Amino acid sequence: MEDNAKVTFGLLVGNRGFFPDKLVENGRELVIKRLEELGYGVVVLDEDEAEYGAVETREDAKKCAKLFDEHRDEIDGVLVTLPNFGDEKAVADTLRLADLEVPVLLHAFPDELGNMDLANRRDSFCGKLSAGNNLWQYGIPYSTTDKHVVDVESKEFAQELERFAGVSSVVNGVKGARLGSIGARTAPFNTVRYSEKILERAGVSVETIDLSEVLGKADSLDGSSPAVKRTLEEITEYTTTEGVPDESVVKIGKLKLVLDRWIDENDLDATAIQCWDALEEFYGVVPCTAMSMMSESLIPSACEVDIMGALGMYVLQLASGQPAALTDFNNNYGEEDDKLVSFHCSNFPKSFIEEPEMSYQDILSEDVGKNNCYGTIVGRISPGPATFFRLSTDDNNGTIRSYLAEGEYTDDELDTFGGYGVAKIDGLQKLMKYAVDNGFEHHVAVTKKWVGETIDEALNKYLDWDVYYHEG
């Protein structure tokens, strides 16, 4: 995560009495210090509540569970750390009693070869197996570190926490997520159909509004009002409007103000907008600038009323702490089997693009006129890592399914329009075959960071959503 201060861990320190207590005392202090250094919040038993502030007995478990319950609105995930073998039953009892329903990470301290006597050996290597076994018996899902034991002061420990913070953010963010569906699905886009009921069962709610209501409110706004002027200032600070008619910029500002207010009123996390082509024909601009600004400010906005695309963007954003976009897997890149052209009209967040600028929608301008199509944010996607993710409801089976792939945007030569880039994914042909064979949509969400493992862990282990994690 980019901002660890938003993530708070419940810290459960395990102990077992006939192993060295000093390791628990020192280990607890070391973990707390490391978490705080890395910017995470910590909820942990005080040393006067249980011996060394650790959990060893049933009574300790009840105290720790009570503490966690009191802070359940703050705790995003639980870190179980074992400075010595730990009492596996007390660990499992604590989590069962607290019933937080948040991700759990099992961590164990490493032993040192020069300190393997009775006074210094940890046996955490073995204790972690026992803790995992008991959580498995209790039916409590949990995560573990890639290396079985990890030094708290190491770079690997920081990386494990970052990944776990992302897992926690995805799991907690999806539960109770609220999406805004703005306008009816455009008739030709059967591909973005989805089941609102399946989403609701998964804890994701969808609020709807008719496009005519949005445009009516936008038309009724006074362009010289303070609220509209503030929005226009935000737009001109966000991107250059050179060459764009003033009238179009004002329309974009009014539209954005109406959308911002509706998002706030309904406490929404992401939106999907009917952007084609009633808005252009009857209002006179494209919504891309407003959508780009929302996505850049971490309120993802998807094209063509693609609610599942918007949810995919939101998941990527939760995992990475960075903006996400919706793109088309649009063209082959010559004869390069592992490369493709990633394209949209575009509403990409400006942080995606090397030199973003406001322009007009080239494709629609042929039908409704250039003057009705201003407001796109265009340019080339900058090179760098990328994670691609597509969510879909499987209405026949009542499930949510997805595919996930990591790749990169390259600096390969490309001459085209809109928002575009060349993407490289190892084993791309296998991924495309999977997408077609399983009826996935042409849209795919993307963020410019590798977070595939994070999302795979969150979906598989805690949300029970189907995911194909493509590894080329």
Domain end point (choices 158, 174, 190) = 174
Length of the chain: 472
**What's the number of domains the chain is made of?**
2
Residues 104, 224 share a domain:
no
Residues 36, 76 share a domain:
yes
Q: What is the DSSP letter of 19?
A: S
User: How far from the centroid of its chain's Cα atoms is residue 324's Cα?
Assistant: 8
DSSP states along 272-329:
EE--SSHHHHHTSS-SHHHHHHHHHTT--EESTT-HHHHHHHHHHHHHHSS-EEEEEE
Task: Give the whole-angstrom CA distance, residue 236 versus residue 231.
Answer: 9
pLDDT at 201 over 70: yes
Give Cβ neighbours of residue 385 (< 8 Å, ≥ 6 apart).
406, 407, 408, 448, 449, 450
Task: Give the whole-angstrom CA distance, residue 223 versus residue 219.
Answer: 9
Reported as a single tens digit per residue, the pLDDT across 237-259 is 999 999 999 999 999 999 999 99
Task: Give the whole-angstrom CA distance, residue 451 versus residue 347.
Answer: 22
Higher pLDDT, 19 or 458: 458
Residues 196, 327 share a domain:
yes
Angle at 356 between CA 351 and CA 358, to 5 degrees: 130
- The closest alpha carbon to 358, from 375, 373, 344, belongs to 375
pLDDT at 1 over 60: no
Looking at residue 72, what is its pLDDT? 97
Distances (CA, A) of 106 to 100, 122, 138: 16, 16, 15
Q: Which residue has 């024909």 as its token pair?
A: 281
Angle at 151 between CA 145 and CA 154, to 5 degrees: 95
Looking at residue 20, what is its pLDDT? 77
Average pLDDT of the residues in 69-95: 97
pLDDT at 284 over 70: yes
Residues 152, 100 share a domain:
yes
Residues 225, 84 share a domain:
no
Residues facing residue 12 across a β-bridge: 80
Task: Give the whole-angstrom CA distance, residue 274 versus residue 270.
Answer: 14
Residues 242, 147 share a domain:
no
Residues 104, 16 share a domain:
yes
The CATH number given to whatever domain includes residue 305 is 3.20.14
Domain end point (choices 174, 204, 221) = 174
Looking at residue 364, what is its pLDDT? 84
Domain end point (choices 129, 146, 174) = 174
Residues 121, 195 share a domain:
no
The CATH number given to whatever domain includes residue 148 is 3.40.50.10940
Reported as a single tens digit per residue, the pLDDT across 387-440 is 999 999 999 999 999 999 999 999 999 999 999 999 999 999 999 999 999 999
Looking at residue 285, what is its pLDDT? 96
Residues 275, 126 share a domain:
no
**Element at 127 (helix H, strand E):** helix 124-138
Average pLDDT of the residues in 153-157: 98
Task: Give the whole-angstrom CA distance, residue 393 versus residue 197.
Answer: 10
Residues 183, 156 share a domain:
no
Average pLDDT of the residues in 9-27: 90
Output helix, strand, coil percentages for the chain, rounded to the nearest 5: 40, 25, 35
Q: Which residue has 């999406």 as its token pair?
A: 179
Q: Which residue has 């407001």 as its token pair?
A: 375
Task: Give the whole-angstrom CA distance, residue 304 versus residue 266.
Answer: 20
Residues 182, 59 share a domain:
no
Average pLDDT of the residues in 185-195: 90
| The two three-digit tokens of residue 148, written as one number | 């079985």
Tell me the whole-structure pTM to 2 decimals: 0.95
Domain that holds residue 74: 4-174
Residues 465, 321 share a domain:
yes
| The two three-digit tokens of residue 392, written as one number | 């879909």
pLDDT at 5 over 70: no
**pLDDT-derived band of residue 276, with 50, 70 and 90 as boundaries?**
confident
What share of the chain in percent tops pLDDT 70?
Answer: 99
Task: Give the whole-angstrom CA distance, residue 352 versus residue 231.
Answer: 22
Higher pLDDT, 128 or 363: 128
Q: What is the DSSP letter of 191?
A: G
Looking at residue 120, what is its pLDDT? 81
**pLDDT-derived band of residue 2, with 50, 70 and 90 as boundaries?**
very low
Task: Give the whole-angstrom CA distance, residue 311 versus residue 306.
Answer: 9
pLDDT at 158 over 90: yes
**pLDDT-derived band of residue 367, with 50, 70 and 90 as boundaries?**
confident
What share of the chain in percent tops pLDDT 90?
Answer: 90
**β-pair type (178-182, 205-209):** parallel
Backbone angles phi, psi at 31, to 5 degrees: -65, -45
Contact 374, 245 (CB under 8 A): yes
Q: Look at residue 175 and give its three-state secondary structure.
A: coil
> Strand (E) positions, 27-183?
41-44, 77-82, 104-108, 143-144, 178-182
Distance linking the first and last C-alpha atoms of the chain = 25
Reported as a single tens digit per residue, the pLDDT across 292-324 is 999 999 999 999 999 999 999 999 999 999 999
Average pLDDT, the chain: 95
**pLDDT-derived band of residue 3, with 50, 70 and 90 as boundaries?**
very low
Q: What is the DSSP letter of 248?
A: H
Reported as a single tens digit per residue, the pLDDT across 31-58 is 999 999 999 999 999 999 999 999 999 9
Contact 339, 378 (CB under 8 A): no
Task: Give the whole-angstrom CA distance, residue 269 versus residue 323.
Answer: 13
Looking at residue 21, what is its pLDDT? 82
